C-alpha cells in the first residue's frame, strides 16, 4: 500500500494545454518533494515544499502544499513536449522518503 496516492496515473495532453497532478496522503509530512524522471535516468528534484499552504513557482510549474501538509499538487501551464516524463511526489519521514506511485505525463506535439 502506497503511503502517498498520486493521481492520475497516466496523463496525455496536447502541447499548450494545462495539467495538474495530485499527491494525497493520510499522513503529515515535514516536507514534500516533487521529482521528474525521464526514461533510463534517475529522478531529478524539482522542488521541496515545507510550509502548509505554501505555493512555489518554477517557470511554468506551480507547486502547492496543503494547509495540513498531507497533500500537494503540481500544475503545469502551457505544457511543452519537454515536460514529458514520470512525475513523482515524495514525503519526508524520519530518515527516508516515501514515494507516490508516479504520474506518467505525455505531451504530444
Give me the residues that bind another protein (CB under 8 A), please: 2, 30-31, 33, 35, 40-45, 48, 86, 88, 90, 92, 94-97, 99-102, 104
> Tell me, what DSSP letter sits at residue 68?
T
Nearer to another protein by C-beta: 68 or 78?
A: 68
For cell 494525497, name the residue: 24
Nearer to another protein by C-beta: 78 or 108?
A: 108
Q: How far is the CB of 40 from another protein (least distance, A)?
A: 7
Burial string for 55-86 (b: 16+ CB within 10 Å, else e) reads ebeeeebbbbbbeebbbbbbbbeebeeebbbb
Q: How far is the CB of 78 from another protein (least distance, A)?
A: 25
Amino acid at each position: 500500500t502506497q503511503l502517498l496516492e498520486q493521481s492520475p496515473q497516466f496523463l496525455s495532453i496536447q502541447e499548450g494545454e494545462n495539467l495538474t497532478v495530485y499527491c494525497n496522503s493520510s499522513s503529515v509530512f515535514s516536507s514534500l518533494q516533487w521529482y521528474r524522471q525521464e526514461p533510463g535516468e534517475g529522478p531529478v528534484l524539482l522542488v521541496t515544499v515545507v510550509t502548509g499552504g505554501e505555493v512555489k513557482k518554477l517557470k511554468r510549474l506551480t507547486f502547492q502544499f496543503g494547509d495540513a501538509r498531507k497533500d500537494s499538487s503540481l500544475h503545469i501551464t502551457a505544457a511543452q513536449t519537454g515536460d514529458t516524463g514520470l512525475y513523482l511526489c515524495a514525503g519526508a519521514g524520519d530518515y527516508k522518503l516515501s514515494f507516490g506511485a508516479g504520474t506518467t505525463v505525455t505531451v504530444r506535439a
